[in-house]
Chain A
Amino acid sequence: MSFFKRRLPLLIVLFTGIVMMISYYVPHKPFSQFWDGANKWYMLIAGFTMVLGVVSLVRNHYRKIRQGKQGFGYSIVMFIAMIVTAVFGVIPHSESSPIWGNRSGSVFMWIFDYINTAAAGTVYSLLAFYIASAAYRAFRVRTLDATIMLITALIVMIGRVPYGEMFSDFLTNSIGKGLVFLRLDNLTSFFLNYPVVATRRAITLGLGLATISTSLRVILGIEKTYMGGD
């Protein structure tokens, strides 16, 4: 049992990891085919595992309804939506009955376009309000760091809109051309092109190294917590 549960998965990880690494540098068969083949296999297996997801979803919501938990009404809506969408999507499309299937003009696509996409768009639009509340929390002037961030953010925000440019024009014209580097649009470009890019690159470099190190740990079987156990 230990072989099938521990050693075999580790051997598969070792073999797959090494072959995938080689196939990145060797474009010849069979390595060139292994990369595409492995990705196709993954897609196939992941497709089948959707059954696991549906079973989990049904079990979870059925339990909520049976126990009459808070918000169980939403579970009933979920069941109705799931069954209606699945029925209209699975039955094949034909010339005589265009409402079935998943082509344009079918009920399935109508549900997708006018319910799912609209609902997703609504949730996404909430982000604007959350950004406002998060910005309020971040920009409260309590420390030196927060003050620097507030000033920088104000410069970048004003510098990115046409009013910032107009304001800068006014300042440059009234104070003098020698202070052109202090224009808000120039300061904004400076902040975005130098400190921000430098920080992001530092993070990306660190992440790249961490990816190499972690991949090596996983491939060599040093890191095996994801298989369960210590």
Chain B
Amino acid sequence: MKQWKFLSLALFISMFVMIYPGIGAQTPVELKIPTGLEVIDTPSDSGESLLLKWPKMENESIQWSYVIYRSSSPDGEFKEVEKIESSKEYGSDNPQWFGFDKENANFHVYKVSPVWEMRDLVLRSWGGKEQTTQERVEPLKTYYKIGVTDGEQTLIGKEVVSGIPKENWYRRDRFNGNIILIILFAIVITFILHAQRNPNLFLRKIPGIDAVDEAVGRATEMGKPILYSTGYYDISELSTICSVNILAHVAKKVAQYDSRLIVPCKYPVAMTVCQEVVREAYINAGRPDAFNASDIFFIAGEQFSYTIGVDSIMVREKPAANFFLGTFAAEALILAETGATTGAIQIAGTDSNYQIPFFIVACDYCLISEELYAASAYLARNPQLIGSLKGQDAGKMLLFFALIVGTLMVTIGVFFPDAEIFNIIKQFFTVR
């Protein structure tokens, strides 16, 4: 009986030793103070940070953490600013700064912020108290130390390093984006110049834009107004600018057909721009007298207040045509479904991926993403604008080619892990 008990106990202990990684798997490694700490200016930044670099220690345990201490003077009090797991933050994780050398896996790198010279800023609210806050002036020379801890014991190094961040003149980490941007710019400009010489370029049909005439004509026949929304964002967004461009064309048609255009706006700046654009369109159509500035008005800056405001216009005025062109969020379906229940012909267009399905379902025509941006050029039929669209298509072909080549190279790279060329290609297409 005793033997069975002994055997069971031995079996239990051996299983525990096998399963539990801390026992039997490895003996504890002696904690050592890290040496060789260096401080370097962070490349490609605006002078707001420094990089601390230190070599990976021999027998470095994954249970250790490095501790970074910071002070504004070499003899002052060093305060702990960061604790980093020893298995993380290697030089090889940052090829944008250190390249693709294999040696980069042998040192740790961590970005730290310096101590800043601060100045007081007094804010005086109207009728309220004065409030003092602080604002950064410039970075000071900052001193760093490094230590290591295993959770129980902490060893702090004696080495003290110092540095002041500097401003850099170029974001080297964005070099890839810069090159691609220059290439795409060159392609678009080439096609614009080409279109000036050869204006009869083919442009595929966009049914949603072709339906503008139909929608305006229907509204005129029914004697009902047309509603136009420029979306959720202010005029600072490109989608709103594109929507305003389309509005100019719609307004011109409305003026020619002698119908009524209602433009409820979510932002006062967008409202002012819309008023100006519609006024100009009426003047260009030879109908300045028909322009009514009060039909382009501000509803509310709050998302759902605006939504319910536009909904109530649709229910009360029953427009014969609704245009929802711009960036939309959760209000997209609420607007489009309300419009559908009033029986209006609806033309929508948005660059928000998540709202496109809603518009496709609830509207008669939908401009999908880039079509919204192309619509103005499509309507204007200006050779330069059409040329830019053709350039865009050529850029798409280039990206398509890059996708195929990139996918092939990365796939081949899996079989040749030592070949640097594949890593370089992969990193070139990494967005930072």
Residues of A within 8 A of B (CB): 24-29, 32, 42, 45-46, 49-54, 56-57, 59-60, 63, 70-71, 74, 92-94, 116, 119-120, 123-124, 126-127, 130-131, 133-135, 137-138, 200, 203-207, 209-218, 222-223, 225-230
Task: Find A225's partner among B178, B244, B294, B297 (CB 8 Å cutoff).
Answer: B244
Q: Are A57 and B280 closer than 8 Å at their CB atoms?
A: no
Q: Are A213 and B302 closer than 8 Å at their CB atoms?
A: no
Closest partner residue, chain A, to B243 (CB atom): A226
Highest count of chain B CB atoms <10 Å: which of A24, A50, A134, A211: A134
Q: A56-B297, A137-B361, A226-B273 are in contact. Are A213 and B188 (CB under 8 A)?
A: yes
Cα–Cα, bound, A203→B305 (Å): 30
For B238, what are the chain A residues with a Cβ–Cβ distance below 8 Å?
211, 214-215, 218
Q: A213-B389, A226-B273 are in contact. Are A134 and B353 (CB under 8 A)?
A: no
Highest count of chain B CB atoms <10 Å: which of A120, A212, A230: A212
Cα–Cα, bound, A223→B248 (Å): 12
Q: Are B384 and A56 closer than 8 Å at their CB atoms?
A: no
Cα–Cα, bound, A135→B358 (Å): 9
Task: Find B280's partner among A59, A130, A228 (CB 8 Å cutoff).
Answer: A228
Q: Give the interface residue-count category, chain B.
A: 35 or more
Residues of B within 8 A of A (CB): 44-47, 125-128, 167-171, 174, 178, 181, 184-185, 188-189, 192, 234-236, 238, 241-242, 244-245, 248-249, 267-269, 271-273, 276-277, 279-281, 284, 294, 297-305, 307-308, 312, 316, 330, 333-334, 336-337, 340, 351, 353, 356, 358, 360-362, 368-370, 373-374, 376-377, 380, 382, 384-385, 388-389, 391-392, 395-396, 399
Q: 9 closest Cβ contacts across the A-B interface?
A: A228-B280, A53-B268, A27-B46, A210-B370, A92-B127, A210-B373, A53-B298, A123-B304, A52-B268
- Shortest CB-to-CB span from A216 to chain B, Å, is 5
Task: Find B303's partner among A120, A210, A226 (CB 8 Å cutoff).
Answer: A120
A-B contacts, 10 listed (Cβ < 8 Å): A27-B44, A27-B169, A92-B125, A130-B334, A203-B368, A206-B370, A206-B396, A217-B377, A217-B384, A230-B284
Task: Find A209's partner among B336, B337, B361, B370 (CB 8 Å cutoff).
Answer: B370
Q: Are B333 and A210 closer than 8 Å at their CB atoms?
A: no
Closest partner residue, chain A, to B303 (CB atom): A120
Cα–Cα, bound, A77→B305 (Å): 14
Task: Find A226's partner among B241, B389, B396 (CB 8 Å cutoff).
Answer: B241
Q: Are A203 and B356 closer than 8 Å at their CB atoms?
A: yes
Q: Are B294 and A32 closer than 8 Å at their CB atoms?
A: no
Cα–Cα, bound, A193→B279 (Å): 48
Task: Find A214's partner among B298, B316, B362, B373 (CB 8 Å cutoff).
Answer: B373
Cα–Cα, bound, A209→B396 (Å): 7
Cα–Cα, bound, A206→B268 (Å): 30
Q: Are A120 and B361 closer than 8 Å at their CB atoms?
A: no
For A92, what are the chain B residues with a Cβ–Cβ distance below 8 Å?
125-128
- Shortest CB-to-CB span from B410 to chain A, Å, is 16
Q: Are B297 and A123 closer than 8 Å at their CB atoms?
A: no
Cα–Cα, bound, A63→B293 (Å): 13
For A127, what are the chain B residues with a Cβ–Cβ distance below 8 Å?
330, 333-334
Q: A131-B333, A228-B277 are in contact. Are A222 and B267 (CB under 8 A)?
A: no
Q: Are B369 and A206 closer than 8 Å at their CB atoms?
A: yes
4 other contacts beyond A92-B128, A207-B373, A222-B388, with CB at 8 A cut-off?
A: A120-B304, A130-B334, A130-B337, A203-B370
Highest count of chain B CB atoms <10 Å: which of A57, A59, A222: A222
Cα–Cα, bound, A222→B377 (Å): 10
- Shortest CB-to-CB span from A18 to chain B, Å, is 12
Task: Find A70's partner among B168, B277, B316 (CB 8 Å cutoff).
Answer: B316
Cα–Cα, bound, A70→B316 (Å): 8
Cα–Cα, bound, A64→B128 (Å): 38
Q: Are B294 and A59 closer than 8 Å at their CB atoms?
A: yes
Closest partner residue, chain A, to B180 (CB atom): A212
Q: A49-B272, A210-B392 are in contact. Are A119 and B174 (CB under 8 A)?
A: no
Highest count of chain A CB atoms <10 Å: which of B127, B235, B301: B127
Q: Are B380 and A213 closer than 8 Å at their CB atoms?
A: no
Task: Find A216's partner among B281, B330, B388 (CB 8 Å cutoff).
Answer: B388
Q: A27-B168, A71-B316, A124-B304 are in contact. Are A212 and B181 (CB under 8 A)?
A: yes
Q: A119-B304, A134-B362, A228-B276 are in contact. Are A53 and B267 (CB under 8 A)?
A: yes
For A130, what are the chain B residues with a Cβ–Cβ distance below 8 Å?
333-334, 337
Cα–Cα, bound, A28→B45 (Å): 8
For A74, what are the chain B residues with a Cβ–Cβ distance below 8 Å?
312
Cα–Cα, bound, A49→B270 (Å): 10
Cα–Cα, bound, A97→B169 (Å): 53
For B45, what are the chain A residues with a Cβ–Cβ distance below 8 Å?
27
Q: A27-B168, A53-B267, A60-B294 are in contact. Are A209 and B248 (CB under 8 A)?
A: no
Q: Are A222 and B385 closer than 8 Å at their CB atoms?
A: yes
Q: Are B307 and A123 closer than 8 Å at their CB atoms?
A: yes
Q: A53-B271, A92-B128, A131-B333 are in contact. Are A209 and B174 (CB under 8 A)?
A: no
Q: Are A213 and B169 closer than 8 Å at their CB atoms?
A: no
- Shortest CB-to-CB span from B273 to chain A, Å, is 7
Task: Find A212's partner among B168, B184, B284 (CB 8 Å cutoff).
Answer: B184
Cα–Cα, bound, A93→B128 (Å): 7
For B330, what are the chain A residues with a Cβ–Cβ distance below 8 Å?
124, 127
Cα–Cα, bound, A94→B126 (Å): 12
Cα–Cα, bound, A27→B126 (Å): 36
Cα–Cα, bound, A142→B305 (Å): 37
Q: A226-B244, A228-B280 are in contact. Are A46 and B269 (CB under 8 A)?
A: yes
Cα–Cα, bound, A225→B301 (Å): 25
Highest count of chain A CB atoms <10 Å: which of B308, B340, B361: B361
Q: Are A212 and B395 closer than 8 Å at their CB atoms?
A: yes
For A71, what are the chain B residues with a Cβ–Cβ distance below 8 Å?
312, 316
